[in-house]
Structure 1
Amino acid sequence: MAFAFRYHQAAQSTYKPPLIANENAFLGDVDSSEKDSPEKPISAGFYRLEKGTPLVYTYTYDEMKIILEGEFEISDETGQKVTAKPGDVFYFPAGAKITFTTPSYGLAFYTGQRKQGAA
């Protein structure tokens, strides 16, 4: 049995994630393995934060992010704080409470071990 891959051309520059929180936090799944692997789905997409209200998010699933553009200030309840720039990669375990802010804007690609739209 053959399986075809899915392709999302120029997604970083053409996909516009919807507003999910406050006035400045945008997130949207571009694709998911949920239909192919419903027991252990992974979903991936883009997260954009613009200057304004910090986003505080408690993860209910494991996620990895790579910063693509701009800059984020990322902190957690342990006191860890990082200024994230393009090329930086993060792992957020289920249960982590993360605060995201930015002095201007930031764009990241993520993949999470969850169903599509379950962020």
Structure 2
Amino acid sequence: MGRFISANVLRDMAKLDKNIVLEEDSVLTPSAKDLAKELGITISKGRQEIISHTVGGQSVGQLVNLQSSVKEVSVSSGTATDAESQSDDLKKAVQRILGEVLKPACENPKATHVKGETVVIQPFPEAPPGQKVGLVDVIDSRVGNLASGFMTFDHSKLPWFLNYDEVDYVIEGEFVLEVEGQVFRAKQGDVVYIPKGSQVVFSSPTFCKVFYATYPANWADFCD
């Protein structure tokens, strides 16, 4: 099983260097990828860069350069008016970028009908090697602010960090959830709620199929 890199682990690694190279079998949790974007951490596996930090189409370096330019112009101008003008320009640029980052997952939610016969559960690429975990979103941020879908576990486990709220409904089989020292053994018809910020282990000792709903809908943005 590959090494899972949580947000806390990544934060410690970033104290030494913000250009981080991971082993090929390492798996970043959603919160770790979000943290990388937040702190401007570049992450690579071998020679492949998997996260290059940008915000609203501009890199952190560009923002720093913009701020530096404002300071240089303010100093060289020697007038308070020019300094204030440049400061206002910087504020507007930052507000525009933040507006892009903080906008809703779906700007135009719409009623959607997904036919069951069209749903195909695919192997989950973030699952540890050898673990048979399937997952598919049927509602995502293209149509709503709340996502939903199906996942399966075939004698398998999936350590995970939830950077979002989730509700799970067991369709068939035995679904086991370990969270903060608690173990929930859910069967067909049971419902489980998991709050944002939980470090969990999903599993099934046999086989299970689960319907899930998450908020916000763009929980999978970390895979981008």
- The reply to whether TM is greater than 0.5 is yes
Q: Is the 8 A contact 1:26 1:47 kept in 2?
A: yes
Taking structure 1 as reference, are residues 92 and 4 closer, same or farther at Cα in structure 2, changes over 3 Å only?
A: closer
Q: What does residue 57 of structure 1 align with?
A: 160
Give the unaligned 5+ runs of structure 1. Answer: none
Deviation sequence 1:34-75 (CA, Å, 0-9, x none)? 2455xxx111100111113x2111100011110101111211
Structure 1 runs of 4+ with >6 Å offset: none
Which of the two has higher C-alpha Rg? 2
Q: Does 1:99 align with 2:205?
A: no
Q: Is the 8 A contact 2:164 2:219 kept in 1?
A: no
Query: Which protein, 1 or 2, shows the higher relative CO under an 8 Å CA cutoff with sep ≥ 6?
Result: 1
Q: Does 1:9 align with 2:111?
A: no
Corresponding pairs, count:
109
Q: What's the secondary structure of 2:197's corresponding residue?
A: coil
RMSD: 2.2
Whichever residue aligns with residue 5 of structure 1, its letter is A
TM-score, normalised to structure 2's length?
0.44
Residues 1-119 of structure 1: matches in 2 within 5 Å?
A: 5-10=111-116, 15-20=119-124, 21-22=127-128, 23-32=131-140, 34-36=141-143, 41-52=145-156, 54-77=157-180, 79-114=181-216, 115=218, 117-118=220-221
Report the identity percentage: 28
Q: Is the 8 A contact 2:147 2:213 kept in 1?
A: yes
Whichever residue aligns with residue 112 of structure 1, its letter is T
1-side partners of 2:110 and 2:179: how far apart? 39
More helix by proportion, 1 or 2? 2
Give the unaligned 5+ runs of structure 2. Answer: 1-108
TM-score, normalised to structure 1's length?
0.79
2-side partners of 1:87 and 1:74: how far apart? 15
2-side partners of 1:8 and 1:101: how far apart? 26
Q: What's the secondary structure of 1:5's corresponding residue?
A: coil
